[in-house]
Amino acid sequence: MELRRVVVTGLGALTPIGNSVDEYWKNLIKGVSGAGPITRFDCSKFKARFACEVKNFNPDDYFDRKEVRKYDRCSHLGIVCADEAFRDAGFDLNTLNRDRAGVIWASGIGGLETFINEVTAFATGDGTPRFNPFFIPKMISDITAGHISIKYGFHGPNFATVSACASSANALIDAFNYIRLNKADVFIAGGSEAAITQAGVGGFTALHALSTRNDDPATASRPYDKDRDGFVMGEGAGALIFEELEHAKARGAKIYGEIIGGGLSADAYHMTAPHPDGLGAILAMRNALSDAGLEKESIDHINTHGTSTPAGDIPETKAIVALFGEHAFKMNINSTKSMTGHLLGAAGAIEAIASLLAVINSIVPPTINHFTDDPEIAPLNFTFNKAQERIVNYAMSNTFGFGGHNASVIFTKFKP
């Protein structure tokens, strides 16, 4: 069968460096760090006392009092972000066939804050089980997808993808496939995460995954730098509206660009560590190129997973060099996590948006906080410290997750 073309007609972003797509993009180009002292709980006894929190976000500004109490912060962020994308796409619900519109929304962890609050209350009580009746629906990872579908009356495919830090990239690839296989016409796809909690920060610190550069949070996320010491926890959400091309044209929608390929793979190697030679990353990127029908020389820019961990950055670089060969040195490579921190299950969505905007605006955001070259990392063009202008015809976005989950997506300029 002939695969249908899938375009992007709406964007939404709620991030540590901007509560809208426009603000997020401007601060990416400026090289703004979203890191600062944790405000959401008393972290004075924690080894990592900073994170990339969403700023100036009050759910009372978006939801009535009952909704605020019924939703976890993960859903608050996701619903608000999805609404920006929905409004940006300019749909008319009176004419949209909502049986052909769906939601695929990701979260790596889900309602962690709700889980902590409920279990803590029980553990410190008298043993009487006085759990909130909304405990389970607030906590489960799929609930944001459900809330978004209810909000707009979308009756099409509706589910959550959970693959750790690759979760929202998986959501994008699934939505892409459903549309091009004629299973739907429209999707709200993306993800949200709100894991800056005692258990989230404490748990990742116990894994030795987080930076403990408490004296200088703004420079703590330093992908590909010799002195990187771990990632910085982030929170937020990203949403993309995917739409079948002819459907978008028929309603006169503005088109940002086109998604043309997605690749998935598994390391099948270790619970938390990537394959040391990047074999899973190579396969995911190769699969994305094959899916898009592209030669490797076509890619101009890669937004890497680039978490700033000692173990993680080296294998991804090895994978890029192994797959792209000499062309690896001709691309602009970056890690926007240097600014946003690591949004875990929502990372793939906000980084896909950054990749698409690089295509649209012909400028690649920087990898900030580079001070010292790492001799174990190939000297690629990591777009260190300052944005670089270049024509970006094809951009790839990589996200990898605990459990060995790998996902790569490719965006291009829209060609009628």
Q: HSE (CB half, 13 Å, CA atoms) of 297?
A: 1
Beta strand 236-244 with 186-193 is antiparallel
Q: First-to-last CA distance in the chain? A: 21
| CA distances for 190 relative to 163, 170, 233, 300, 351, angstroms | 13, 9, 19, 24, 11
Q: What residues are annotated to the active site?
A: 165, 305, 342
Closest CA to 402 of 262, 293, 270: 270
Q: How many CB atoms lie within 10 A of CB 239?
A: 35
Closest CA to 3 of 291, 408, 252: 291
Evaluate whether 150 touches 332 at the Cβ level (below 8 Å).
no
Q: How many CB atoms lie within 10 A of CB 208?
A: 14
